[in-house]
Structure 1
Amino acid sequence: MPAAPTPLTETPSTVLVVEPHTAATASLTTPLERHFPLRRAASAAAAEDMLAAGGVQVVVAEQRLPDRSGLELLAAVRERWPDLLRVLVTPNADVDAVAAGIGRAGLFQYLPRPFHPDNLLLTVTNACRFSRLRREHARVLAQRHPGAVHTGDLTPDPWDRRQRNWCLDAVVRGPDSPLEPICDQLARIAPYDIPVLLTGESGTGKELFARALHESSLRALQPFVAENCGALPDQLLESELFGHRKGAFTGAIADHVGLFEQADGGTVFLDEIGDVSAAFQVKLLRVLQEGEIRPIGSEQRKRVDVRVVAATNKDLEAAMLAGSFRHDLYYRLAGVTLHLPPLRRRPGDLGPICERLLREAARAFGTPLQRLSTEALALLNRYHWPGNVRELRSELQRMVVLSDGGPELGPQLLSARVLARASVADALPAGDATLKERVEALEAGILSETLTRCGWNKSRAATELGLSRVGLRNKLARYGLDLADGDVAKPPVSGDS
């Protein structure tokens, strides 16, 4: 049996427990009454009356109440008293039904029954500690920024737009970017100790967002640690996250402190969480539920206080239906889910991102700062970027090192892959084009890509394409591509022959 945590003794928070008088299960008040000032309500209506009187910092509610569900009550509490921390206790059978509304209620945590009383005590203790830290943080910010926005009885709201966006500057985006509402939502949830799941394709910046979330939170002065869960087998992953003792397995020549212990008080970022095995999912779930780790080879458990941010490029909901990912672990990780769109869905962001990446490349390589030509940027915008920002960084670094050091990077420096796909995408006719029109458009795209890459050296392009110079000239005339050197080819008019 785990040892009961020592609750806060300094200015204990008042906890409102909402549960029906006729509850068949163990009362929620029993584990808490010796540690916190408690108020009790038997219905949602009675709870709202008590909250209106003030003086409560944490609300713990049963899901099954006589007049409305606990989730509906906590969603209403969030609307009227957003600074109160909310904990929901629900029968295990109701977890699937409750999951869809967890984000709407903005829960600090939810507990499925049955649970150990110490687990409830730990959850409420952490909620009270977080409440006190948040009020202290707000007080300090109020002293530093007297003009901050005020809300409720917590004096200044430290999370007005000016305060919460300074840590999101690393997320480069243009005006009206699809990332803007995501950054706004991230800034809103950052102060609340709720787990976050980041989804999206590889290279969309999930770790960047996880760091921004950490820097926006009250844990910002504590460690941020990251681990790629898909890169390690189970035993090594368990050792990396939870630690091991000397001699626990072959090669364990010394004690190792795991990342959860290293990040105590801070944030753990678990990348590629969708790739972990079913066996490791069970171990991770236990750690998240109990708030304790047990290093490999040790009999002693250690309590840790971390916020978990997970990320995946897989569809975890589909994985749950297929039976390869646990429902209970998903709900532990996905307190709030943020989906990051791919770069091809963010055309307005490409220019600012390129500027940032070119500055990074200039610093890394010790070269003068360069800019993209209008033609090169247009071609980059037509490429679909399956590798997202990671692929774009590689492409721009390649252009920098292959350039002559001039102030502008032209389209001739783009890789064949980018030029070919961008040119073909630009050349393909829209609508109900015939097969002949589509084939001609593809041929024109290949010609345009090759000429651009060869700097409009027609002899070189003809040799590369296996054509005579006369044959190349005839094709260029046919497709209207016989332009002066340096011009950017345009797609042919559909139907030209």
Structure 2
Amino acid sequence: MAAMPTILIIDDEVRSLESMERILRGDFDVKTASNIADANAILAEHWLQVVVCDQRMPDQTGVEFLKSVRERWPDIIRMIVSGYTDANDIIDGINDAGIFQYITKPWHPENLILTLKNACRLYDLQRENELLAVELKMSPSAAGKKLSERRDQLRKDYDFDDGIVRGPDSPMNAVCATLRQIAPYDVSVLLSGASGTGKELAARVLHYGSLRWNKPFVVENCGALPDELLESELFGHKRGAFTGAIEDHVGIFERANGGTVFLDEIGEVSPAFQVKLLRVLQEGEIRPVGAANTRKVDVRVIAATNRDLEEEVRMERFRADLYYRLAGIVVRLPDLKDRRNDIPVLARTLLTRAMSALGKRVEGLSEEAIECLTNYPWPGNVRELQNEIQQMLVLGQEDSVLGAELLSGHILRSDPAGGDVDDIDDIAAMEGTLRDRIGALESRIIRETLIRNRWNKSKAAAELGLSRVGLRAKLERYGLGKVKPLPTRKVAGSNK
């Protein structure tokens, strides 16, 4: 059995310290200290993965202490817990102490355990990276072989049949056929689709299906940065080019030389920056900020947007010449609401991945949960579905079947027929009498309440303020009278 990771908790409030130790000791080897001196003694004696320190300590602040930990034991993952988080504390923690994460009081036990597991996983990854770097120095051929094997695995993971999860009659089949056809050709591609439809995944599939597959694939979200920072990120900068540029920085285009650059949310860049980007795409060379000379780069550009860029060009908000540089081939990814037959297989795949990431096992999703997931239109697309599956896993019981009662209320209230009428404004705008419209809303509220209470009519009636007779009448009126069996829960140690 693998040894549990060792963590150190520091808090001068003894009750808080004991509470945290009691919750964490089943998953970690927990060391505790109520003052900085004891904490330093433990750090000197034990091999630790994570240190969690309260911000308000009598000797010194948590950030000040973790700054000293960073100097002496830089590999240890450092975290702050505080009920008085201040913006300046956060900035100081990130800049001076390299804080991995702030935990605010009051903390939730499951969230705390998950955060610490992620921190331990980061520690392990750092160690693996260090070992690989040492191996590269000692044996370049062996390290090169490992790197090649990892690239081969990545290419397999993003193979056209495995990378994009879908059903046999999916609209994504046509998309994947198009990606398969254009991947080997060194042309620019514009991926169009709503947020969360999987544009980055499609870009990776294009890269690993191309002749550049064994070169870097680098991603930049163009909508997340102002022009000055975006220019520095994409093209690099020289030391002293601007305030804070304390060393040379290699940009994404140069880091990806020979490979692929994926520019996400390209429709968000300003007109001024569009000119700079166009020049790079036309000339195939970059000029780092503050540099006197240009540098040649050889990259394939794949861009993505959730905007209608053709309309943006017509409205003169996006340069036509840049659009045609980016849109060598345009591929549109369908919304998840147009892929309803994909939702069951996609949900089960996302659950498997979430179990692996969170280290928690369940038996799967109930048929009722799958039905509710399929009926919902998913305005946030695959990303929203992923979040919902993760939430169900966190809230569900270990080794159980995840039932529909774990779903968010707005999903349970969605149209059972799979229509697009999904909020009160849509219902108010429906055709029909006032009675019909109120009935449509009432039936969804009743159905949601029944599912949350696992079809226990007594509990549902009490929650809704109805008598059992009154509830029965409404169930018959709305066609909800069929009694749903409770999902079977697997009992530990039983083969039944």
Offset at residue 367 of structure 1 (A)? 2.0
The residue number in structure 2 matching 1:475 is 474
Once residues 173 and 280 of structure 1 are traced to their aligned partners in structure 2, the CA distance between those partners, rounded to angstroms, is: 37
The secondary structure found in structure 2 opposite 1:166 is coil
Unpaired runs of at least 5, structure 2:
1-155, 422-426, 488-496
Query: Is contact 1:424–1:442 with CA below 8 Å preserved after alignment?
Result: no
The residue number in structure 1 matching 2:411 is 418
The residue number in structure 2 matching 1:201 is 194
The residue number in structure 1 matching 2:168 is 175
Offset at residue 181 of structure 1 (A)? 1.6
The residue number in structure 2 matching 1:216 is 209
The yes-or-no answer on 1:453 pairing with 2:452 is yes
Offset at residue 439 of structure 1 (A)? 2.5
Query: Is contact 1:225–1:259 with CA below 8 Å preserved after alignment?
Result: yes
Offset at residue 421 of structure 1 (A)? 1.7
The residue number in structure 2 matching 1:54 is none
Identity %: 58
2:307 to 295, 299, 314: 314
In structure 2, the CA distance between the partners of 1:178 and 1:483, relative to structure 1 (3 Å rule), is closer
The secondary structure found in structure 2 opposite 1:296 is coil
Query: Is contact 1:197–1:309 with CA below 8 Å preserved after alignment?
Result: yes
In structure 2, the CA distance between the partners of 1:329 and 1:221, relative to structure 1 (3 Å rule), is same
Offset at residue 424 of structure 1 (A)? 8.0
Offset at residue 459 of structure 1 (A)? 4.7
Query: Is contact 2:189–2:329 with CA below 8 Å preserved after alignment?
Result: yes
Once residues 299 and 321 of structure 1 are traced to their aligned partners in structure 2, the CA distance between those partners, rounded to angstroms, is: 36
The secondary structure found in structure 2 opposite 1:198 is strand
In structure 2, the CA distance between the partners of 1:403 and 1:230, relative to structure 1 (3 Å rule), is same
Once residues 255 and 289 of structure 1 are traced to their aligned partners in structure 2, the CA distance between those partners, rounded to angstroms, is: 25
Once residues 325 and 347 of structure 2 are traced to their aligned partners in structure 1, the CA distance between those partners, rounded to angstroms, is: 37
The residue number in structure 1 matching 2:401 is 408
Once residues 460 and 157 of structure 2 are traced to their aligned partners in structure 1, the CA distance between those partners, rounded to angstroms, is: 53
Deviations 1:3-48 (A, max 9, x none): xxxxxxxxxxxxxxxxxxxxxxxxxxxxxxxxxxxxxxxxxxxxxx
Once residues 442 and 228 of structure 1 are traced to their aligned partners in structure 2, the CA distance between those partners, rounded to angstroms, is: 40
Once residues 167 and 443 of structure 2 are traced to their aligned partners in structure 1, the CA distance between those partners, rounded to angstroms, is: 33
Query: Is contact 1:269–1:308 with CA below 8 Å preserved after alignment?
Result: yes
The residue number in structure 2 matching 1:83 is none
1:249 to 242, 245, 252: 242
The secondary structure found in structure 1 opposite 2:317 is coil
The yes-or-no answer on 1:285 pairing with 2:285 is no
In structure 2, the CA distance between the partners of 1:397 and 1:235, relative to structure 1 (3 Å rule), is same
Unpaired runs of at least 5, structure 1:
1-162, 489-497
The yes-or-no answer on 1:383 pairing with 2:376 is yes
After the TM superposition, which residues 264-413 of structure 1 pair with which residues of structure 2 at under 5 Å, given as runs? 264-413=257-406
Once residues 402 and 200 of structure 1 are traced to their aligned partners in structure 2, the CA distance between those partners, rounded to angstroms, is: 31
Offset at residue 480 of structure 1 (A)? 4.5
Query: Is contact 1:358–1:370 with CA below 8 Å preserved after alignment?
Result: no
In structure 2, the CA distance between the partners of 1:450 and 1:346, relative to structure 1 (3 Å rule), is same
The secondary structure found in structure 2 opposite 1:214 is helix
Once residues 452 and 265 of structure 1 are traced to their aligned partners in structure 2, the CA distance between those partners, rounded to angstroms, is: 54
Once residues 348 and 412 of structure 1 are traced to their aligned partners in structure 2, the CA distance between those partners, rounded to angstroms, is: 22
In structure 2, the CA distance between the partners of 1:294 and 1:196, relative to structure 1 (3 Å rule), is same
Deviations 1:322-360 (A, max 9, x none): 110000000000000000001110122112211211110
After the TM superposition, which residues 29-44 of structure 1 pair with which residues of structure 2 at under 5 Å, given as runs? none
Once residues 231 and 248 of structure 2 are traced to their aligned partners in structure 1, the CA distance between those partners, rounded to angstroms, is: 14
TM-score (normalizing by structure 2): 0.62
Amino acid at match of 1:176: D
Once residues 177 and 456 of structure 1 are traced to their aligned partners in structure 2, the CA distance between those partners, rounded to angstroms, is: 33
In structure 2, the CA distance between the partners of 1:283 and 1:165, relative to structure 1 (3 Å rule), is closer
In structure 2, the CA distance between the partners of 1:193 and 1:233, relative to structure 1 (3 Å rule), is same
Offset at residue 363 of structure 1 (A)? 0.7
Query: Is contact 2:158–2:208 with CA below 8 Å preserved after alignment?
Result: no
Query: Is contact 2:191–2:303 with CA below 8 Å preserved after alignment?
Result: yes
Query: Is contact 1:242–1:260 with CA below 8 Å preserved after alignment?
Result: yes
2:181 to 167, 170, 188: 188
In structure 2, the CA distance between the partners of 1:394 and 1:444, relative to structure 1 (3 Å rule), is same
Deviations 1:23-76 (A, max 9, x none): xxxxxxxxxxxxxxxxxxxxxxxxxxxxxxxxxxxxxxxxxxxxxxxxxxxxxx
Once residues 396 and 252 of structure 2 are traced to their aligned partners in structure 1, the CA distance between those partners, rounded to angstroms, is: 42
In structure 2, the CA distance between the partners of 1:330 and 1:427, relative to structure 1 (3 Å rule), is closer
| Stretch deviating more after TM superposition (415-424 or 194-203) | 415-424
The secondary structure found in structure 1 opposite 2:257 is coil
Offset at residue 472 of structure 1 (A)? 3.6
Count of aligned positions: 326
Offset at residue 423 of structure 1 (A)? 4.2
In structure 2, the CA distance between the partners of 1:316 and 1:367, relative to structure 1 (3 Å rule), is same
Amino acid at match of 1:198: L
Deviations 1:238-270 (A, max 9, x none): 000000011111111111000000000000000
Offset at residue 473 of structure 1 (A)? 4.4
Amino acid at match of 1:437: D
The residue number in structure 2 matching 1:166 is 159
The residue number in structure 1 matching 2:437 is 438
Once residues 454 and 268 of structure 2 are traced to their aligned partners in structure 1, the CA distance between those partners, rounded to angstroms, is: 45
TM-score (normalizing by structure 1): 0.61
In structure 2, the CA distance between the partners of 1:349 and 1:479, relative to structure 1 (3 Å rule), is closer
Once residues 191 and 393 of structure 1 are traced to their aligned partners in structure 2, the CA distance between those partners, rounded to angstroms, is: 30
Amino acid at match of 1:454: N
Amino acid at match of 1:439: I
Amino acid at match of 1:484: V
Query: Is contact 1:174–1:348 with CA below 8 Å preserved after alignment?
Result: yes
Deviations 1:354-406 (A, max 9, x none): 12111101111222253222221111111000011101111111111222224
Query: Is contact 2:157–2:163 with CA below 8 Å preserved after alignment?
Result: no
After the TM superposition, which residues 4-153 of structure 1 pair with which residues of structure 2 at under 5 Å, given as runs? none
Bigger-Rg structure (1/2): 1
| Stretch deviating more after TM superposition (173-182 or 268-277) | 173-182
Once residues 164 and 382 of structure 1 are traced to their aligned partners in structure 2, the CA distance between those partners, rounded to angstroms, is: 29
RMSD of aligned alpha carbons:
2.6
Query: Is contact 2:158–2:205 with CA below 8 Å preserved after alignment?
Result: no
Once residues 479 and 250 of structure 1 are traced to their aligned partners in structure 2, the CA distance between those partners, rounded to angstroms, is: 66
Offset at residue 463 of structure 1 (A)? 4.7
Deviations 1:226-247 (A, max 9, x none): 0000000000000000000111
In structure 2, the CA distance between the partners of 1:380 and 1:423, relative to structure 1 (3 Å rule), is same
The residue number in structure 2 matching 1:31 is none
